[in-house]
Copies of this chain bind each other. A is one copy, B any other.
Amino acid sequence: MNTIREQALACRDAAQVVAALDSTAKRALLRDMAAALEAQTAAVLDANTRDMADAEAKGMQGAMLDRLRLDEARVVSIANALREVAELADPVGVVTRRETRPNGLSVERVRIPLGVIAMIYEARPNVTADAAALCLMAGNGVILRGGSEAIHSNTAIAAALKSALQAHGVPVAALSLVEDLRRETMVELLQLSDIVDLAIPRGGEGLIRFVAEHARVPVIKHYKGVCHLYVDRAADLDLALNLLIDGKTSRPGVCNALETLLVHRDVAEAFLPQAAQALRERGVELRGDERSRTLIPDMQATSDDDYAAEFLDLILAVRVVDNLDDAIAHIRRYGSDHTEVIATADESAAQRFVQAIRSAVVMINASSRFSDGGELGLGAEIGISTTRLHAYGPMGAEALTVERFVVRGEGQVRHPQSRV
Contacts and interface: CB of A to CB of B under 8 A. Distances in A.
Given A377-B99, A390-B389, A418-B250, A242 B405 contact: no
Interface string A370-391: 1100011100000000011111
Interface in A353-385: 354-356, 358-367, 369-371, 375-377
Interface in A103-153: 105, 107, 112, 114-115
A406 B107 contact: no
B359 A404 contact: yes
Given A370-B412, A412-B370, A361 B404 contact: yes
Which of under 10, 10 to 19, 20 to 34, or 35 or more describes the interface residues of A?
35 or more
B364 A239 contact: no
A167 B370 CA distance: 44
Contact of A405 (B239, B360, B415): B360
A275 to B, nearest CB: 9
Contact of A415 (B105, B219, B250, B355): B250
A419 B377 contact: no
A356 B406 CA distance: 12
A407 B242 contact: no
Q: Which interface residue of A212, A278, A409 has the most chain B CB atoms within 10 A?
A: A409
Interface in A247-271: 249-251
Number of copies: 2
Interface of A: 16, 19-20, 99, 101, 105, 107, 112, 114-115, 193, 197-198, 212-213, 216, 218-219, 236, 238-239, 241-243, 245-246, 249-251, 278, 350, 354-356, 358-367, 369-371, 375-377, 387-394, 402-415, 418-420
B402 A243 contact: no
Given A407-B363, A414-B375, A389 B114 contact: yes
Contacts of A414: 246, 250, 367, 369-370, 375
A227 to B, nearest CB: 13
Given A236-B411, A243-B413, A415-B369, A406 B354 contact: yes
